[in-house]
Amino acid sequence: MTSFTGRILCVDLGNGTAESRSVPPEVYEAVLAGKGLEAWYLYKHIPAGADPLGPENILAFAAGALCGTGAFLTGRWTVACKSPLTGGWGDANCGGVFAPAIKQCGYDAIFVSGVSETPVYLFCDGKTAEVRDASAYWGLDATEAENALHADLDPVCRKKPCVACIGTAGEKLSLISGVCNEGGRIAARSGVGAVMGSKRLKAVVLAGARPMPCHDPEAVKALSKELGRKIVKMSLPSGFGGFFGLGGRMMGRMPAMPMDGSLAVYMFREWGTQANTPLAVTSGDGPIKNWGGTPKDARGLPPQYNPDKINKLETLKYHCYSCPIGCGGRLDLRGRRYAAYPETHKPEYETLESFGPLLLNKSLDSVLQINELLNRAGMDTISAGNTVAWAIECYENGLLTKEQTDGLELTWGNTEAILALVRKMVDREGFGDALADGVKRASERYGGKEYAMHIGGQEPGMHDARNDPQLGVHFVAEPAPGKHTVGMGMEYGAMSLCDICSWAPPATLHAKKKDREDTEEMALITKANACYTMLTDGAGGCLYGVMMGVHMWKLVDYLNAAEGWDYDGDHYMEIGERIQTLRQLFNVKQGVDPASFRLPRRMLGWPSLSSGPLKGVTLPQHRAQVSSHWRAFGWDEKTGVPLPETVKRLGIDRLTEVDV
């Protein structure tokens, strides 16, 4: 027995059918589950040239291989499809309890094709799977829809259902919309919500109670017990959060080095990702003023985003499935300024940065409201923040007039105007309509392309390539460009990948500027980053596990115990390589030119910044680094297309002949 159910659910909304199909074991051996299974299926089944918002596109929901085995930090679920934002591979993932719900219905993944004529939702309880009328829920925001579905279905289901749904942004086909669960937690990137909206699929409701398989649950449990004991004992002195601005200044000046990532769990447990905001502003990691500013422009902002200040609003801490860290929380917003909602999820760093320092917005209260507004609408805060930043810069430079912005004074840090614009984007009203499709479309309509920060159509996550050139390579070499979750220099220093992978270079103590050079070592590092992240996504793992390093979160040991295999790290890294190559082949099949993904000039350091930790930094060898990364993968170094011998070496030619 392995951890895989061996079955997938294939739903066709065109005719309202749902069919269970079996997947041969060799597919799981090759790509695991999660994003790997999705890459294999979507590459095979989405025809070249398919309209991302048409019936031929397939929307996939998948749990990872380790989900339900007892392995810690493996509760992520991944949505994938052809992205309407980039025209190529799209995916987004999220925590919560939806991943095990997929497996408890007896499936590793659900694939939805076709378009329904009327709003529907998919219901599955492990015995039946049916497409039901959702007209009563259409028009509700994600939280309202989830609550309404629970009110209607909880009394008639044997087990409380889990719901993943779109908000109004997905219904209105916003190309920067995502899929939500658990009151607005969102798988946000790649425009996956628009694809769900185009299918008129409001929700997927899962209420199965089947056991989730595992080869050796005792061995998995022993690994989790060891990890859990350490995590539970970790703590930091309180009041630490106020020093992060200072800490960031120190980090900005320090060299790159190998470090113990396991201890970063202190931060995640205490604050979640939001602790990164003051660190990022002062270290050069976080973008300021639409990626063109420096810490001088953001003077006074770090104290506004002190993580201790945010924690004081916390009324409840929560954990994802199988997670002993518990980085999530609910915040009480009653009595706060702009309080249209009484509470919200603790915001992630990405949200705080994209609506705080990126816009020079000093109002934490406004960002908390925007967090809730966008979570409920189901709109990606990273893309939305970058788009608002573009609008402000255009307005400040006279490219947009007050008439065009519906009377909004879009100046840096104008909190009221920022809030009003976000509401317009969510409602697709007036000026907000064009912005609801992201910064690329908005700049094509209004001009100001030089201020539009996107890579291949997708807005970048809130980390600066000038601070971390490895990240710059991943921003453009990643088949879903602009994602910040594939690899970073600091993470590489913390992962100790060289201890499980024979070809992964050891992290070394070196000046950061060395990372701007095109070297064989750097190419292998970025390849190792991408392979391990894909492996993690196939396993359903959390990036916190990745950051902890291989000695703490023992992914290889977990997989061997859960599947009954005896493979080494090199074998598993090849699985990651196969998943990444399949995703790249997906783009090639869909006519997306990998070489067309480019870092915005501003992120390359043209013009360079005049002060701060990134003063004078440029990335002249960036394109050469991308070519070397492709070459390390066995892809053509000029075009990024996987070479025939690589496809054969990874067995992808045989794998794509396997059918279900």
Partner 1 sequence: MRVKILPPPGCDRSALDARSWAELPEGGTVRDALRLVRCSPVKAKLLLVSVNGERSPLSRVLHDGDVVGFFFPVSGG
- Residue ranges that bind partner 1, judged by CB under 8 A: 230-231, 233-234, 244, 247, 251, 254-255, 257-267, 272-276, 279-280, 283, 285, 348-350, 463, 488, 490-491, 494, 496, 498-499, 506-509, 543, 547-548, 551-552
How many CB atoms lie under 10 A from the CB of residue 481? 29
Strand ranges of the sheet holding 201-206, from the earlier edge strand across to the other edge: 129-133, 120-124, 201-206, 162-165, 179-181, 185-187
Please report the DSSP string for 510-565 in residue order: B-GGGGGS--HHHHHHHHHHHHHHHHHHHHT--HHHHHH-TTTS-HHHHHHHHHT-
Q: Tell me if the bond preceding 213 is cis, omega within 30° of 0.
A: no
The distance of closest approach from Cβ of residue 520 to partner 1 in the complex, given in angstroms and rounded to an integer, is 15
Whole-number Å distance between alpha carbons of 598 and 475: 8
Q: Residue 3 or 485: which CB sits closer to partner 1? A: 485
The distance of closest approach from Cβ of residue 126 to partner 1 in the complex, given in angstroms and rounded to an integer, is 34
Q: Residue 59 or 462: which CB sits closer to partner 1? A: 462
Q: Residue 226 or 517: which CB sits closer to partner 1? A: 226
The distance of closest approach from Cβ of residue 259 to partner 1 in the complex, given in angstroms and rounded to an integer, is 5
Q: Residue 357 or 432: which CB sits closer to partner 1? A: 357
Q: Residue 134 or 603: which CB sits closer to partner 1? A: 603
Q: What share of the chain is helix, strand, coil (3-state, %, to 5)?
A: 45, 15, 45
Whole-number Å distance between alpha carbons of 589 and 587: 5
Q: Residue 350 or 563: which CB sits closer to partner 1? A: 350
Q: Residue 219 or 488: which CB sits closer to partner 1? A: 488
Please report the DSSP string for 403-415 in residue order: TTTTT----TT-H
Residue 268, token pair as written in the block: 């995640």
Residue 328, token pair as written in the block: 């999530």
Q: Residue 280 or 367: which CB sits closer to partner 1? A: 280
The distance of closest approach from Cβ of residue 508 to partner 1 in the complex, given in angstroms and rounded to an integer, is 7
Residue with the two structure tokens 């070249």: 48
The distance of closest approach from Cβ of residue 372 to partner 1 in the complex, given in angstroms and rounded to an integer, is 19
Cα–Cα distances in Å, from 133 out to 19, 116, 122, 130? 18, 10, 9, 10
Q: Residue 265 or 585: which CB sits closer to partner 1? A: 265
Q: Residue 58 or 490: which CB sits closer to partner 1? A: 490
Q: Residue 327 or 619: which CB sits closer to partner 1? A: 327
Whole-number Å distance between alpha carbons of 282 and 295: 6
Alpha carbons within 13 A on the beta-carbon side of 106: 14
Q: Residue 2 or 496: which CB sits closer to partner 1? A: 496
The distance of closest approach from Cβ of residue 96 to partner 1 in the complex, given in angstroms and rounded to an integer, is 17
The distance of closest approach from Cβ of residue 116 to partner 1 in the complex, given in angstroms and rounded to an integer, is 36
Please report the DSSP string for 370-404 in residue order: HHHHHHHHTB-HHHHHHHHHHHHHHHHTTSS-TTT
The distance of closest approach from Cβ of residue 500 to partner 1 in the complex, given in angstroms and rounded to an integer, is 11
Cβ atoms of residues 224 and 188 within 8 Å: no
Cα–Cα distances in Å, from 55 out to 89, 133, 467, 468, 571? 16, 18, 42, 40, 37
Whole-number Å distance between alpha carbons of 530 and 524: 10
Q: Residue 1 or 232: which CB sits closer to partner 1? A: 232
> Pairing mode, if any, of strands 7-12 and 109-113?
parallel
> Pairing mode, if any, of strands 328-332 and 314-318?
antiparallel
The distance of closest approach from Cβ of residue 385 to partner 1 in the complex, given in angstroms and rounded to an integer, is 14
The distance of closest approach from Cβ of residue 504 to partner 1 in the complex, given in angstroms and rounded to an integer, is 10
Cβ atoms of residues 308 and 241 within 8 Å: yes
Whole-number Å distance between alpha carbons of 402 and 466: 34
The distance of closest approach from Cβ of residue 331 to partner 1 in the complex, given in angstroms and rounded to an integer, is 17
Contacts of 386 (CB under 8 A, 6+ apart): 290, 354, 358, 438, 439, 453, 454, 459, 460
Q: Residue 139 or 506: which CB sits closer to partner 1? A: 506
How many CB atoms lie under 10 A from the CB of residue 377? 31
Whole-number Å distance between alpha carbons of 493 and 274: 21
The distance of closest approach from Cβ of residue 457 to partner 1 in the complex, given in angstroms and rounded to an integer, is 23
Residue with the two structure tokens 């447990």: 269
The distance of closest approach from Cβ of residue 569 to partner 1 in the complex, given in angstroms and rounded to an integer, is 13
Residue 653, token pair as written in the block: 């030619």
The distance of closest approach from Cβ of residue 226 to partner 1 in the complex, given in angstroms and rounded to an integer, is 9
Q: Residue 348 or 577: which CB sits closer to partner 1? A: 348
The distance of closest approach from Cβ of residue 496 to partner 1 in the complex, given in angstroms and rounded to an integer, is 7
The distance of closest approach from Cβ of residue 552 to partner 1 in the complex, given in angstroms and rounded to an integer, is 5
Closest of 568, 488, 474 to residue 259, by C-alpha: 488
Q: Residue 283 or 366: which CB sits closer to partner 1? A: 283
